Amino acid sequence: MLYRLKNAGFQAYLVGGGVRDLLLGREPKDFDVVTNASPEQVRGVFRNCRLIGRRFRLAHVHFGSEIIEVATFRSMQDVGSTAERSSEHNGMLLRDNVYGTIEEDVLRRDFTVNALYYNIDDFSVIDYVGGLQDLEQGTLRLLGEPHTRYREDPVRMLRAVRFAAKLGFKIDQACEHPMRESGALLAGVPAARLFDESLKLFMGGTAVQSFEKLRHYDLFSRIFPETDRCLSYQEHEFPITFVMKGMENTDIRISEGKPVTPAFLFAVLLWEPVRRRTALLVAGGMPMSLAIHQAGGEVVAGQIQHVSIPRRYTMPMREIWNLQHRLENPGAKRSRRLLAAPRFRAGYDFLLLRALAGEVDQELADWWTRAQENNEPARSPELPGVGDKPRRGRRRRRKRPESSGDR
Ligand code: ATP
Ligand code: MG
């Protein structure tokens, strides 16, 4: 791509995480290209190209299943200096959509290590800002004045945490310093963007480090306020252990190439608020299954004010929570039905984590492990006092004999 643009008479550079990760010997997640060609000119060079974005147009060039983003150099001029850039709202950038030169493009980037340009002309890396040195030293340093840069875009604080977690870099003191107080600015970031960032923080293979650093800089409270309140209120150790185990588990699965779903992850992150609200409602006389249902709804409603988790995830999250009560009360016949429930597997994995964290008995988790192995829960009465509760109400006889192959 770089050659094609160059041969068409344009400047073209690889920039951002692609250059950074290649220099670190890591596999880049994606590649970003910048050029002095306008998006329309880029489209003229590539057939497999689509222009996206309304205000600031970007070119997406498709190669099979891969998409490479090609942006035109942008400038970040002083606020109010041009009519095109009516961009300020409490110092937050609303748009940065003025085309510029490479020298101007550098300055709008976040960290020095993200502002390196690979030049196809002579295979050199262009470094205007000391990014190579910071890369060598493992330092994340914002370009410009940190307060200002966080005010322009508070997500940069989350990006600092994410890169520090992922690359094992340390955040430069001057950039670290304002994070605790500037964290409040995250309230002004659209919840949809915080959802995207949350996925990157927790599904990038270093969820544990991300979580710890977010808590350290008091940023976790900005995006998961209710969870943070619950975790700070130390009644037992298990709530924090539970979240940590959940993050560990996610990281391990990712490193083994196993699939992870955001639903499970968010179900873990919000479990403690759900558990507490449920307990309150039950104490007020509500039946357990109703209480957990209502608590789940309330916790989700509160959370999506901050991080807009789409319904395709909140639905399974709530199913996972609802299953917990049923898993805690395995009756012989009910268990068989539960084994076939659509979210059984996720609910069971969730129960295992709770057991690991010491919130429920390991025995209960083991019982369900055996129940699946045998798929004969009716004949697994090993769990004392749980599987063999006396039945109340009607008893039904099965009319049909059980088929043996119903797994
Ligand atoms: P990765 O793709 O591995 O998550 P990345 O650094 O490539 O990391 P992207 O979100 O793909 O991150 O962004 C590409 C580049 O765009 C960054 O390296 C940075 O130069 C610039 N950039 C992205 N987001 C911001 C931001 N919020 N403020 C300033 N510059 C940004
Ligand atoms: Mg990238």
Task: Return the minimum-mean-pLDDT range out of 88-92, 100-104, 226-230, 265-269.
Answer: 88-92
Q: Which residue has the tokens 């060039």?
A: 61
Same domain, 97 and 233: no
- In whole angstroms, give the CA distance from residue 158 to residue 398: 57
10 Å Cβ neighbour count for 265?
22
CA of 96 to the centre of ligand 1 (A): 14
Q: What is the pLDDT of residue 394?
A: 43
The domain tally of the chain equals 2
Q: Whose CA is nearest to atom 28 of ligand 1?
A: 110
pLDDT of residue 54: 78
Q: What is the pLDDT of residue 353?
A: 96
- Would you list the DSSP string of 308-336? ---HHHHHHHHHHHHHHHHHHS--HHHHH
Do 109 and 195 lie in one domain? The reply is no
Distance in angstroms (rounded) separating the CA atoms of residues 19 and 200: 19
Q: Do 230 and 341 belong together in one domain?
A: yes
pLDDT at 380 over 70: no
Give the Å distance between the CA of 20 and the centre of ligand 2.
9
Domain that holds residue 28: 1-152
Q: What is the pLDDT of residues 36-94, one digit of tens each?
A: 999 999 999 999 999 998 777 899 999 888 899 999 998 876 444 444 444 455 666 55
Is it the case that residue 127 has pLDDT exceeding 90?
Answer: yes
> Which of these, 206, 208, 207, 149, lies nearest to 177 by C-alpha position?
149
Compute the average pLDDT of residues 322-333: 86
143 C-alpha to ligand 1 centroid (Å): 13
End-to-end CA distance of the chain: 51
Q: How confident is the model at residue 96 (pLDDT cuts 50, 70, 90)?
A: low
Asked whether residue 1 is assigned to any structural domain, the reply reads yes
- Are residues 325 and 217 both part of a single domain? yes
C-alpha distances out from residue 165 to 48, 155, 251, 287, 394, Å: 35, 15, 12, 42, 56
Q: Do both 52 and 98 map to the same domain?
A: yes
**Ligand 1, closest atom to CA 16?**
18
What's the CA-to-centroid distance between 255 and ligand 1, angstroms? 23
pLDDT class of 23 with cuts at 50, 70, 90:
very high
Distance CA 318, CA 121 (A): 54
Nearest residue (by CA) to ligand 1, atom 4, is 17
Instruction: Specify the DSSP class assigned to residue 307.
Output: S
Q: Which helix (H) or strand (E) holds 211?
A: helix 207-216
| Residues classed as catalytic | 30, 32, 110
The reply to whether 82 falls in a domain is yes
Q: Whose CA is nearest to atom 12 of ligand 1?
A: 17
Which ligand has the minimum distance to the alpha carbon of residue 17?
1
Q: Give, using CA atoms, the residue closest to atom 25 of ligand 1.
A: 110
Measured on CA atoms in the order 37, 41, 47, 51, is the torsion positive or negative? Answer: positive
**pTM to 2 decimal places:** 0.87
Atom of ligand 1 nearest to the CA of 162: 4
Ligand 1, CB cutoff 6 Å, lining residues:
16-17, 29-30, 32, 108-110, 114-115, 153, 155-156
